[in-house]
C-alpha cells in the first residue's frame, strides 16, 4: 500500500487517497476509441490505418462499497494532468527462444513479474523498460507489470453521498497523455 489506511494498490499522489478512501476501487481500462482506424478493401479485408501514436489507454476509476471519504477530486477538472500507477497490470510475453523484451510502457519496478505458463516465477533483470531473462526462454514467459502513466482527466468527475449511510461513491475518467505537441 502506498498511503496509510487505504486498501487500494493505486498510486496517485494527486488524489490523496488515505483513511476511509480507496477501499474497494474498480478499474476499467481500454484503448482509446481513436486507436482503431480501419477500412475495408474491395473484397472486405480489414486494413488497419491506425497510427501507433494513438495506442493509448483510457481508465475509469470507480469507488466501491465501504468508501466514506472522497479523494482530492476538487482540482481534477477536465484537462488536468497527473501521474498514476494503476493496480491493473499490463501483460506481455517473451516468446520461446528469446531472452528479452522491451515493454511498451515504463514499468513500476516493484510490480514486474515474469512467470511460466504454469505461474512459476522466472528470474529476470530490469533495466529501464527492458526485461531480460538469464537465458533464452524454453517456453513462453509471461510478463506482468503496473505501468507508470501520465494521464489527463477527460470527463468531469462524479461524486455521490448517501447521507444516512454516510456512504460516498465517486468516479474519475482519464486517459494517457499522448505526444509532445
Cβ 105 vs Cβ 147: under 8 Å: yes
Task: Give the pLDDT confidence score for residue 30 in this predicted structure.
Answer: 92
The per-residue pLDDT of the chain, averaged, comes to 88
Residue 3 has pLDDT above 60, yes or no: no
**What's the pLDDT tens digit per position in 107-165?**
999 999 999 999 999 999 999 999 999 999 999 999 999 999 999 999 999 988 887 77
Provide the b/e sequence for 127-162 (b: ≥16 CB within 10 Å).
eeeebebeeebeeebebebbbbbebebbeebeeeee
With CA atoms as reference, report the closest residue to 153 among 129, 179, 172.
Answer: 172
Q: For residue 180, is pLDDT > 60?
A: no
pLDDT at 1 over 50: no
Q: What is the pLDDT of residue 44?
A: 87
Q: What percent of the chain has pLDDT above 90? A: 59
Amino acid at each position: 500500500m502506498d498511503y496509510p489506511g487505504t486498501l487500494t494498490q493505486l498510486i496517485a499522489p494527486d488524489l490523496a487517497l488515505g483513511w476511509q478512501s480507496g477501499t474497494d476501487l474498480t478499474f476499467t481500462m481500454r484503448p482509446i476509441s481513436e486507436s482503431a482506424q480501419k477500412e475495408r478493401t474491395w473484397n472486405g479485408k480489414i486494413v488497419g490505418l491506425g497510427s501507433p501514436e494513438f495506442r493509448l489507454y483510457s481508465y475509469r476509476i470507480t469507488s466501491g462499497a465501504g468508501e466514506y471519504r472522497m479523494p482530492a477530486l476538487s482540482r481534477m477538472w477536465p484537462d488536468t494532468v497527473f501521474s498514476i500507477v494503476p493496480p491493473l497490470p499490463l501483460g506481455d510475453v517473451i516468446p520461446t527462444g528469446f531472452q528479452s523484451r522491451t515493454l511498451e510502457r515504463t514499468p513500476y519496478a516493484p510490480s514486474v513479474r515474469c512467470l511460466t505458463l504454469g505461474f512459476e516465477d522466472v528470474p529476470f533483470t530490469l533495466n529501464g523498460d527492458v526485461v531480460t531473462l538469464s537465458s533464452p526462454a524454453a517456453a513462453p514467459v509471461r510478463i506482468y507489470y503496473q505501468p507508470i502513466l501520465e494521464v489527463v482527466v477527460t470527463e468531469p468527475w462524479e461524486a455521490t453521498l448517501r447521507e444516512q449511510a454516510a456512504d460516498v461513491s465517486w468516479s474519475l475518467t482519464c486517459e494517457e497523455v499522448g505526444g509532445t505537441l
